[in-house]
Amino acid sequence: MPQPSSNDKLPVVNSVVEMLQDNSSSGLYFADGRRKVDYVLVYYCRRRSSFHGSPLQHRLSIISNGSFHIPVSLPCDPQRRSSEPEVVDLGPADPADGEKVLIREEFEASLVEAGLEIERDKEKSYGQNFVRLHAPWPVLCREAEILKVKVPTKKSYELKREKGLSGTMNAFWRKLNEPFQPKVPQPHDQGHVKYLSHCFSRDKLHLYNIKHKDTFFDNTTRSRIVYEILRRTSCTRSCQTMGISTLIAKGVYTSAFPLHDGDYKTSGDGPRNDRQILHDEWARYGAFYKYQPIDLIRKYFGEKIGLYFAWLGVYTQLLIPASVVGIIVFFYGCATVDTNVPSMEMCDERQNFTMCPLCDRSCDYWDLSTACSTARASHLFDNPATVFFAIFMSLWAAMFLEHWKRRQISLNYSWDLTGMDEEEEHPRPKYETLLLQKRKKKMRNKKKSKNESDKGLEEGPDVGKGKWRQRLLSAVSGMLPPGHEKLTWRDRMPGYIINISSILFMFGVTFSAVFGVIIYRITISALMAMSPDPDLKSNVRVTVTATAVIINLVVILILDEIYGSVAVWLTELEIPKTETDFEERLILKAFLLKFMNAYAPIFYVAFFKGRFAGRPGDYVYVFNDYRMEECAPGGCLIELCIQLSIIMLGKQLIQNNIFEIGIPKLKKLYRSLKDKGSPKEETNELPHRWHLDYKLEPFQGLTPEYMEMIIQFGFVSLFVASFPLAPLFALLNNVIEIRLDAKKFITELRRPDAVRTKDIGIWYNILSGMGKFSVIINAFVISFTSDFIPRLVYLYMYSETGTMHGFIDHTLSYFNVSNFKPGTAPTALEDPEVIVCRYKDYREPPWSPQAYQFSKQYWSVLAARLAFVILFQNLVMFLSMLVDWVIPDVPKDISEQLKREKTMLVDVFLREEKDKIQLIQNLFLRDPLGRNQGQAPPNGQEQKPANAGPRTRSRAASFSQFSRQPSPGHTVKHTEV
């Protein structure tokens, strides 16, 4: 390994004394106060007292490999004395720690070779040690060109301003929105002037708007460049590995992260940094009414996080019209409840509908009028306006996706993401490890087969010819590139088998939990019905429903946490190659498991409860003792509404808010208590920015944030026909969620690595699929769960007066109490003269020749329900496609500006080419000796005309600066910008 020169030695500085000399650094710069800390690496040294064994034995075993020289001193040694060369550090006693030291030496030396500058404090005998990295200007230019970072050029143009009525309306709208805009410093000409952007190139520095080299690349871009170097730097001698992520997985480093831009608390009257601006204008709960500073979020955290908050903002804004319509539908139900004929008939005690018992033996006959409150409450959510709201929400989902596509393209344009190519990703650490193991195993097998072949050839007749042939084949096989092998489907097959079986098992666990709650409802209903307390018997349905939903909520919250961990474990078994592949597989598994977990109880109530309960005299039993439960007299829609509202509000309140606030606080408290309990080394150092940021929680990705919003989107869109107030509760939750996430990112988490991306990835496909699935679900909820279709069928086919009068009597069938099976009839009859009782179904009466068979009304209603499902789906799908066709994905003004910018860039480069040609022509015209014809000047000196003055260097001649391979004997002078 090439050793670094004396100028590249890793400096050891007393950062406390020198840092205090420059108060402006604030822990964001090296000790000289000029070079920024672009990235921080952290590693841990253990106490020497905890080591066992002979340190001499370990160090000698390392040196015997012959790969590294014996350094005078190594990190993690409390007795470093460079002034005493006779004292040789024997290194840590643990072989694993010694190996980590060697890996760190090689890795950091490779970083110095790559051009990074490194600074570290005096090594501690134990505890955390910090390595700070800085990327100088030549490295930034080189990497920005490799990564194709788009930067603003000097060329600008004025944006077209709207005039006339539209301009006046836009100005008026901006004036109204001014109190809701965050107070973020903006350039004076922003909004009116647009600078052209182009991929950075070192040959075109004169084209870019470079005011100062230290500020031309912002902190996010600088940290992204350093992270790219860290990710591709390899350690080939000490270990076969590549990248900082693999080293963190191996425990060589404990963490690596960029620094925040100072403290988030504003102090004094000086200018605020980006973190303070985001905290004051975005992360405070008092700023809940303001728009999000999306551009500043993208500048500080990168495009991936910026797109998440932009998507969350668009989703929250579009929940406002959905909430307004939902409130109108709810108030319509409240206003018409007193004039609703079916609920009035159910509440009319003069109708005297004697209903069949709700359970065997213990339950008595009951009057339908006792369910008056349930019928009135059901009308609030089961009315004609509900159908309109279901259609509206299906179109709303399509509008939301179309609006987000336009917003995403607008952000791609303003953030210079148009035309961005997908960056090649490095393999994940586990993939590299398994690939290395496979490679080693293959080499061992080859060596073993070679030895066996040599042994067999020695015994054969043609020994010499066989030996040379074997050596030739071995040499050819050794010339294969080290990355030639790859993991095949055979390597992944065990993981796939475990994945499929585990997911099916998790589905079984979910269904078992739902079935357990069903058994709970059945048994508790039977036990409460047997109670002699009349008050307890009268509140059976309310008590059982409320407690069952709470149990469902608790089970969902517990299984959600389990399924999240299981999804990570199952994805690891598949051995994805890249982080993107890993993230997509993880998202699909987690979404599938959490979707089933959250919606399985709701699906049961919506489509299965009461469908298979049977009829009086022929009920369906569970365990031969407990009768399957039936829907309430007002229908299952009111129970679906209760189930949906409690689960939705419970998940939002407990999981999304309390967990997000409480768990980070508990972790922070635990770390503080752990730090107090651990022995501290005596030091006078003040905590710097890297110490403070290291105490924050590491960023774990956006998957949990997206997941909770996607599940909420399902509550809003899938079963919205049963709960019109769902968009309102989602809106209130998201207003808090945005500020909660913002506060977490600003104050509780380390600064994440900036990731460039053009879209939200696989989440858009999930949203699109759920939007289409919601059309089917809402169609079936309206058709089969609510009474909307039976009422229409009665009104237009069976009503004698053309009104809804007589609807309740039409939906109730007759049962002769003498047909009860032995042991199932009520034992304590309040009215022994009851001959027939009523139950809700479309069946023939007992005096009919086809007693208790489905009547023709049943088949009419079923046909109408199926026809409505088909009509509803086709209508909504057609309207959704119409919305997709009418609204273009790319806004017209952006498409025009893209064309205009492309033309202007072509003009800029053509003008530059013209200047270059003109410069060459001038050089030839000023050469009187005709060197262009191959004649050399005499004495090797260049001749000038007598009257020629000093030649001025044209700007186009600076193309060769920062050349990567200067010619021998020539020095490259870096041009100051």
Kindly report, residue by residue over 173-199, the tens digit of the pLDDT: 888 888 888 888 876 556 677 788 888
Strand partners, 119: 132
Which two three-digit tokens encode residue 442?
């293959």
DSSP 259: P
Which two three-digit tokens encode residue 451?
């030895």
Q: For residue 760, is pLDDT > 60?
A: yes
Most confident range, picked from 70-79, 124-133, 440-449? 124-133
pLDDT in tens, 497-530: 888 998 999 999 999 998 898 888 888 877 777 7
pLDDT of residue 961: 38
| Residues in CB range of 341: below 8 A, 6 or more apart | 803, 804, 805, 807
Question: What is the C-alpha separation between 738 and 281, in angstroms, rounded?
Answer: 12
Instruction: Work out the number of other CB atoms within 10 angstroms of the CB of residue 71.
Output: 13
pLDDT of residue 473: 40
Indicate the range of 195-199, 243-247, 478-482, 784-788 predicted with least confidence: 478-482
Q: For residue 610, is pLDDT > 60?
A: yes
Pairing of strands 127-134, 626-627: unpaired
pLDDT of residue 77: 44
Most confident range, picked from 240-249, 465-474, 677-686, 721-730? 721-730
pLDDT of residue 530: 72
Q: Are 264 and 276 in contact (CB under 8 A)?
A: yes
Q: Are 224 and 231 in contact (CB under 8 A)?
A: no
pLDDT in tens, 454-471: 665 555 544 444 444 444
What 523-530 contacts at long range (C-beta under 8 Å, 24+ apart), as own/partner pairs, is 523/626, 525/358, 525/359, 525/629, 526/359, 526/362, 526/626, 526/627, 529/358, 529/359, 529/362, 529/363, 530/362
Indicate the range of 14-18, 446-450, 597-601, 792-796 predicted with least confidence: 14-18
Question: What is the C-alpha separation between 803 and 794, in angstroms, rounded?
Answer: 9
Strand partners, 156: 195
Which band of pLDDT confidence, cut at 50, 70 and 90, is reported for residue 223? very high
**74 or 570: whose pLDDT is higher?**
570
Question: What is the C-alpha separation between 242 and 107, in angstroms, rounded?
Answer: 9
Strand partners, 347: none
Strand partners, 131: 41, 120
Which band of pLDDT confidence, cut at 50, 70 and 90, is reported for residue 165? confident
Indicate the range of 29-38, 96-105, 160-169 predicted with least confidence: 160-169
Question: What is the C-alpha separation between 899 and 910, in angstroms, rounded?
Answer: 17
Indicate the range of 551-555, 590-594, 888-892 predicted with least confidence: 888-892
| Residues in CB range of 821: below 8 A, 6 or more apart | 617
**Residue 941, CA distances (Å) to 59, 528, 765, 928, 944 in order:** 61, 112, 70, 13, 10
Question: What is the C-alpha separation between 554 and 562, in angstroms, rounded?
Answer: 13
Question: What is the C-alpha separation between 777 and 782, in angstroms, rounded?
Answer: 9
Could you tell me which of 151, 289, 286, 171 has the C-alpha nearest to residue 222? 151
Could you tell me which of 73, 94, 69, 71 has the C-alpha nearest to residue 82? 73
| Residues in CB range of 613: below 8 A, 6 or more apart | 619, 620, 627, 628, 629, 630
Q: For residue 325, is pLDDT > 90?
A: yes
The single-letter code of the amino acid at 917 is: I
Q: For residue 84, is pLDDT > 80?
A: no
DSSP 286: G
Question: What is the C-alpha separation between 490 and 660, in angstroms, rounded?
Answer: 41
**Residue 659, CA distances (Å) to 380, 666, 704, 716 in order:** 33, 10, 12, 22
Q: For residue 75, is pLDDT > 50?
A: no
pLDDT in tens, 391-415: 898 889 989 999 999 999 989 888 8
**560 or 68: whose pLDDT is higher?**
560
Question: What is the side-by-side strand order in the sheet with 812-816?
Answer: 366-367, 354-355, 836-840, 812-816
Q: For residue 319, is pLDDT > 90?
A: yes
pLDDT of residue 928: 53
Tell me what percent of the chain is helix, strand and coil, each rounded to the nearest 5.
Answer: 60, 10, 35
DSSP 23: T
3-state secondary structure of 635: coil
pLDDT averaged over the chain? 77
Question: What is the C-alpha separation between 219 and 157, in angstroms, rounded?
Answer: 27
Could you tell me which of 504, 703, 507 has the C-alpha nearest to residue 596? 507
pLDDT of residue 700: 86
Q: Which whole number is the average pLDDT over 943-958?
A: 42
Q: Locate the DSSP E strands across 314-432.
A: 354-355, 366-367
Q: Are 371 and 634 in contact (CB under 8 A)?
A: yes
Q: Are 155 and 163 in contact (CB under 8 A)?
A: no
Could you tell me which of 600, 743, 597, 647 has the C-alpha nearest to residue 284? 743
Q: For residue 679, is pLDDT > 60?
A: no
Read off φ and ψ for residue 700, nearest 5 degrees. -105, 10
Q: Are 270 and 55 in contact (CB under 8 A)?
A: no
Helices of type H across 90-154: 95-113, 137-147
Q: For residue 560, is pLDDT > 60?
A: yes
The single-letter code of the amino acid at 758 is: K
Instruction: Work out the number of other CB atoms within 10 angstroms of the CB of residue 172.
Output: 10
Residue bearing tokens 């404990």:
254
| Residues in CB range of 706: below 8 A, 6 or more apart | 308, 587, 760, 763
3-state secondary structure of 25: coil
Q: Are 342 and 807 in contact (CB under 8 A)?
A: yes
Measure CA 642 to chain center: 30
Helices of type H across 136-218: 137-147, 164-177, 213-216
Counting residues of the chain whose pLDDT is more than 70, the rounded percentage is 77
pLDDT in tens, 815-829: 988 888 887 777 755
Could you tell me which of 640, 610, 618, 635 has the C-alpha nearest to residue 811? 635
pLDDT of residue 68: 37
**Residue 795, CA distances (Å) to 177, 788, 872 in order:** 50, 11, 20
Q: Are 877 and 394 in contact (CB under 8 A)?
A: no
Residue count (the chain): 977
Q: Which whole number is the average pLDDT over 705-711?
A: 91
Strand partners, 837: 815
pLDDT in tens, 1-15: 444 443 343 444 444
pLDDT of residue 458: 53
Measure CA 338 to chain center: 47
